[in-house]
Amino acid sequence: MSHARYALSDDEEGGMHADQAGNADLSRVKPEAALPPMPQVELDLGLDTQEDTAQEEPHILRLAHAWLNERGAPEILAWDFNIVEKVMDQILQQQSILDSLASDASTSEEEHFRLNLVQLDVERAKWLLRSYLRSRLVKIEKYAAYIMEHRTEQARLSDVELGYAKRYHQLMHDHYTNAVLQFLPETMRSMQDAVPGSAPESRAGKMAASPNLDTPVFIYCREDCGPLRVFELDGAPAALDKGSIHLLAYRSIRLLLQQRRVELL
């Protein structure tokens, strides 16, 4: 079991593992057909496609990895449209099947109990998706001004997120202007002024928050990444072997995270 799935299972006390719901696929059961006694049902959130075979990971597990990375990274990560859309489509499909079977008069009490187990896994998938989106929303609100300054940051957002970031930034700018900035001298109204004496590119003292890429993060190596020269250790190399866990500055493993060679804990 990957540690991403482990983290997801531990997040809800008393939650049942998806495999305990059964082994058969609900999508193969026709709602209008009479159910056989004690059907085995399972939540299948990984689509049976060639794409999944190549990736060797169901979409729900990839979403769990994205959720862990988003919560652990100090900056907002790239929006993965494919993962979110696939999981949302599968949730809607499974929910439709569950509703049809639950409303079938021929469904027995024991079969309803099994459907409740599958419904529990659907709710867990919904919670994971909501938590992932909330994690991104927190960063958008925190770094709205910084995001509006950098096109590279805007490219990481979905169209809906970018529209929200623009509106939120404008509202905050209008609020600060009406509450404080309009009463200050013209030369003191900028929220991007650095501390006197600091380098022009430095963001120290600026009112607009920006991600701290030197934040220490725990990483799990999904594959052998070779030695990594760590400046915090006087340039000493750190052996990033498959399955190992390290505490490093986010800046030093940023590229490895984008390549999906490591993941955050």
Tell me, yes or no, whether 133 and 19 share the same domain: yes
Domain interval for residue 221: 216-264
Structural domain ending residue among the three candidates 142, 165, 182? 142
The reply to whether 52 falls in a domain is: yes
Same domain assignment for residues 123 and 234: no
- Looking at the structure of the chain, the number of domains it has is 2
Q: Is residue 8 located within the same domain as residue 138?
A: yes
Q: Work out the average pLDDT over 120-141.
A: 93
CATH of the domain at 254: 3.40.5
The more confident residue out of 9 and 107 is 107
Specify whether the CB–CB gap between 98 and 41 falls below 8 A: no
Mean pLDDT over 124-152 rounds to: 93
At residue 78, the pLDDT reads 93
Choice between 116 and 66, residue whose per-residue pLDDT is larger: 66
Residue 184 has pLDDT above 90, yes or no: no
Q: What is the mean pLDDT of the chain?
A: 76
Between CA 163 and CA 166 the distance in angstroms is: 5
Total-model pTM: 0.69
Kindly state whether residues 243 and 135 are assigned to the same domain. no
Do 225 and 128 fall into the same domain?
Answer: no
Q: What per-residue string of b and e applies to 229-259 under the rule 16 or more CB within 10 Å gives b?
A: ebeeeeeeebebeeeeebebbbbbbbebbee
Q: Which of 37-46, 138-147, 200-209 holds the top average pLDDT?
A: 138-147
Identify whether 175 is part of a domain.
Answer: no
Rg (alpha carbons) of the chain, rounded to whole number: 24
Min mean pLDDT across 119-123, 162-166, 247-251 is at 119-123
Which one, of 218, 244, 239, lies nearest residue 228 by Cα? 239
Q: Which of 93, 121, 142 is the last residue of a domain?
A: 142
Average pLDDT over residues 92-99: 85
